[in-house]
């Protein structure tokens, strides 16, 4: 399906396209980036790269940390349900988000690597078949 605008310009229908602008919100992404930037400073005083986590952290490490931060979120929520949102709650929610994104990153990386192996096997098999002819 094609959309036609008043100007006469046309574009494909958006039904099957991901709506990042609708799925995400700048406020949450900004707060998460602030959290990540704050935690770049390591205990040895050095500043780690912002994408350091993408070098690889074991999934079980993410899971254990995610659960600890969930417990912080839950406890803070239970103790302060009647109070305005606290900075502590924001921190624990951002920590949960970090661990969730890290776990998903590692899972997708495994999936991609597995797909790469299958693709390589497929190419090798075709190459072998071509050479056998």
Instruction: Report how many domains make up the chain.
Output: 1
Per-residue pLDDT tens for 50-78? 999 999 999 999 999 999 999 999 998 88
- Domain ranges, residue 35: 2-132
Query: Which of 54, 65, 55 shows the shortest CA–CA distance to 99?
Result: 65
Model confidence at 125: pLDDT above 90: no
Distance in angstroms between the alpha carbons of the first and the last residue of the chain = 45
Give me the pLDDT at residue 122, please: 72
Per DSSP (E only), the strands in 1-133 are 2-4, 10-12
Give the global pTM.
Answer: 0.77
Do 100 and 66 contact (CB within 8 A), yes or no? yes
> Tokens 């406890």, residue?
75
């Amino acid at each position: 399906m094609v959309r036609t605008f008043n100007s006469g310009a046309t574009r494909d229908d958006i039904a099957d396209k991901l709506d990042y602008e609708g799925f995400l919100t700048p406020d949450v992404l900004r707060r998460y980036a602030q959290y990540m930037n704050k935690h770049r400073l390591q205990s040895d005083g050095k500043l780690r790269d912002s994408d350091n986590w993408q070098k690889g952290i074991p999934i079980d490490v993410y899971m254990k940390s995610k659960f600890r931060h969930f417990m912080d979120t839950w406890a803070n929520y239970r103790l302060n349900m009647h109070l305005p949102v606290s900075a502590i709650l924001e921190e624990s929610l951002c920590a949960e988000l970090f661990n969730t994104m890290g776990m998903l990153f590692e899972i997708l990386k495994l999936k991609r690597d597995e797909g790469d192996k299958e693709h390589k096997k497929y190419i090798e098999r075709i190459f072998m078949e071509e050479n056998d002819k």
